[in-house]
Every structure is written in C-alpha cells, then in structure tokens.
C-alpha cells in the first residue's frame, strides 16, 4: 500500500512538475551523511510519520453482495492512515531549490486527492478516494525542526505532504442465508375453521394443568339446609303453641285430620 502511494507521487511529479527532465525523485532519509553525497539535482520525498486518521474512522459494517443482490458477507469499513512526507529540493543554488519547491506546491495544490487515473494495485481495487493535503501546519505534538534534529541534518525549506490511505485489511463475517418468500396473505371467502372443544380448556382461575376439583356425590344432592315446621297438638299443658325449627320425633306419628 505504501509503495503504491510512492509510485503515484513519483509519476505525478515527473509528469506535471519535472516535465521529463533529468531531476531524480527519491525517498531517502535526508541525513547529514546523505546530503554530503548529493551531486545532482533531485526531489526528496521522505516518509517520516505513519498514523491513523481518526477523523475518518467509521462504525458499523459494510455489506458485500453477490450477482443476485443478496448479502453474502459483512466487513468493517476501511480505516484511513496518514502518510506524512517531507518534500525537499536539492540543487546547487538556493534559488533553484525555491523555484522547484514553488512548482511542487502549485502542482499538489491542484489536487485534493490522488488522481484516480494514476491509482493502481490495491488502491484502484478499493474504489475509494485517497485524500491528500499540502503545507498544512504541523500537529501540536511535533514540529519540522524536531524532524530535522532527529535526522541530524541542517534545517531546509520543505513542504509537508499528508496522504490519507484507506486500508481494508479487516476480518470478513459470513452472512446467514437470505430470507425466503416471507408471509403470504390471502383475501376472500375462506372456510371457517371448526371451533375447538372446551373440554380440555382450563377452568378460569386455575393454573394451567391443575386438575379441576370435583364435588363429592353426597354433597352434590344437598344444595342447602332443609327446615321442617310441624305442629304439636299434644302439648296443651305447655301452652299448645307451635314450635318452629324443632326437629320431628321419628318414633311418633303425626295425627291425621
């Protein structure tokens, strides 16, 4: 992925800045020892930092479809990584270096992303844009002076090029089988289904499966308390009244009128 970005930048600078001249495009670290060996004009694109572009991170999953349009797999969205290049011009005269840097700046400012027609390999297969920015202020956690100090060389005028490259190296999750035809609804006169028998239905208030309590046979015929009222005519000495609610003597017979 990184080497493919190098190829795109090299071809773009050679075609639109150098115009097929004899100026080389290299990607070496501009250290003090390397600068001492430079004996020809060249443009150096030193890759000094690689980190993820958190502003472009997406959540969720992307679907992959087959020729029928059904989802066959799901995968994570691409993650973008910023490739930071330190661009410097190396000639014998500072004026020539400034002129070359001016041409590089004018060329790269005309693009907000790498030209799609120059993408190849995995960059072309992704089908997504490859954004880039030129000469923006450095982040707060570092400065270009620190980069030159780490290289051990002298500070030179330079351009900071940042290319955000999408990377799709993520696990793929297979999708389940597609849903069938679904639910069919039919309208019109339909035969009425038979009503279910109520013999097996549970009694209201009982738990399902709890047997119904049956009344004993002796208690089934007795629906209440029987009250018998009889007239006692033999008890004249006692007042000859009537007794309500007194039980009848089974050994005595009642007189008949």
Q: Is residue 23 part of a domain?
A: yes
Q: Is residue 198 part of a domain?
A: no
State the burial class of residue 16 (Cβ atoms within 10 Å of its Cβ: 0-12, 13-18, 19+). middle
Helical (H) or strand (E) element with 7: helix 2-13
Domain count, the chain: 1
The structure's pTM equals 0.62
CA gap 17, 80 in Å, rounded:
27
How much is the pLDDT for 127?
A: 81
- Domain CATH code at residue 92: 3.30.2000.30
State the burial class of residue 81 (Cβ atoms within 10 Å of its Cβ: 0-12, 13-18, 19+). middle
Q: Is residue 202 part of a domain?
A: no
Selected residue with higher pLDDT from 153 and 1:
1
Query: Is the pLDDT assigned to residue 142 strictly greater than 60?
Result: yes
Selected residue with higher pLDDT from 56 and 113:
113
Six token digits for residue 195: 């009503």
How much is the pLDDT for 214?
A: 59
Six token digits for residue 199: 């013999």
Q: Is residue 180 part of a domain?
A: no
Q: Is residue 253 part of a domain?
A: no
Quote the mean pLDDT of the chain.
Answer: 76
Got the DSSP string for 78-121? Answer: PEEEEEEEEEEEE-SSHHHHHHHHHHHHHHHHT-SB--GGG--T
Query: Is the pLDDT assigned to residue 257 strictly greater than 50?
Result: no
Burial readout 159-178 (b: 16 or more C-beta within 10 A, e: otherwise): bbbbbbbbebeeeeeeeeee
CA gap 213, 184 in Å, rounded:
45
Range of the domain at 152: 2-173
Contact 172, 142 (CB under 8 A): no
What is the sign, positive or negative, of the torsion defined by CA atoms of 158, 114, 50, 46? negative
Selected residue with higher pLDDT from 128 and 3:
3
Q: Is residue 77 part of a domain?
A: yes
Q: Is residue 233 part of a domain?
A: no
**Percent of the chain with pLDDT strictly greater than 90:** 36
The pLDDT tens digits for 211-248 are 555 555 555 555 544 445 555 555 444 444 444 444 55
The pLDDT tens digits for 71-103 are 777 777 788 899 999 999 999 999 999 999 999
How much is the pLDDT for 22?
A: 84
Range with lowest mean pLDDT among 20-29, 54-63, 113-122, 128-137: 54-63
Query: Is the pLDDT assigned to residue 199 strictly greater than 50?
Result: yes
Q: Is residue 15 part of a domain?
A: yes
How much is the pLDDT for 145?
A: 78
User: Average of pLDDT values for 175-192?
Assistant: 64
Six token digits for residue 84: 């930071």
């Amino acid at each position: 992925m990184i080497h493919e970005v190098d190829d795109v930048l090299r071809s773009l600078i050679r075609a639109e800045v150098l115009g097929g001249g004899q100026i080389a495009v290299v990607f070496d670290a501009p250290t003090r020892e390397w600068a001492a060996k430079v004996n020809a004009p060249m443009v150096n694109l030193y890759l000094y930092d690689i980190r993820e572009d958190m502003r472009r991170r997406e959540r969720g999953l992307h679907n992959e479809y087959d020729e029928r349009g059904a989802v066959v797999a799901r995968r994570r969205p691409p993650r973008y990584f910023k490739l930071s290049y330190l661009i410097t011009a190396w000639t014998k005269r500072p004026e020539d270096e400034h002129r070359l840097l001016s041409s590089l700046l004018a060329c790269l400012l005309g693009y907000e992303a790498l030209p799609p027609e120059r993408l190849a390999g995995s960059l072309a297969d992704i089908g997504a844009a490859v954004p880039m920015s030129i000469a923006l202020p450095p982040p707060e956690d570092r400065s270009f002076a620190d980069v030159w100090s780490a290289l051990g060389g002298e500070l030179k005028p330079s351009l900071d090029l940042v290319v955000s490259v999408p990377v799709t190296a993520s696990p793929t999750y297979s999708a389940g089988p597609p849903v069938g035809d679904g639910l069919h609804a039919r309208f019109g006169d339909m035969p009425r289904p038979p009503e279910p028998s109520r013999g097996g239905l549970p009694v209201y208030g009982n738990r399902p499966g709890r047997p119904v309590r049956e009344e004993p046979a002796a208690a089934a015929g007795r629906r209440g308390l029987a009250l018998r009222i009889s007239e006692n005519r033999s008890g004249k000495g006692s007042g000859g009244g009537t007794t309500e609610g007194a039980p009848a003597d089974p050994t005595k017979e009642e007189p008949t009128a």
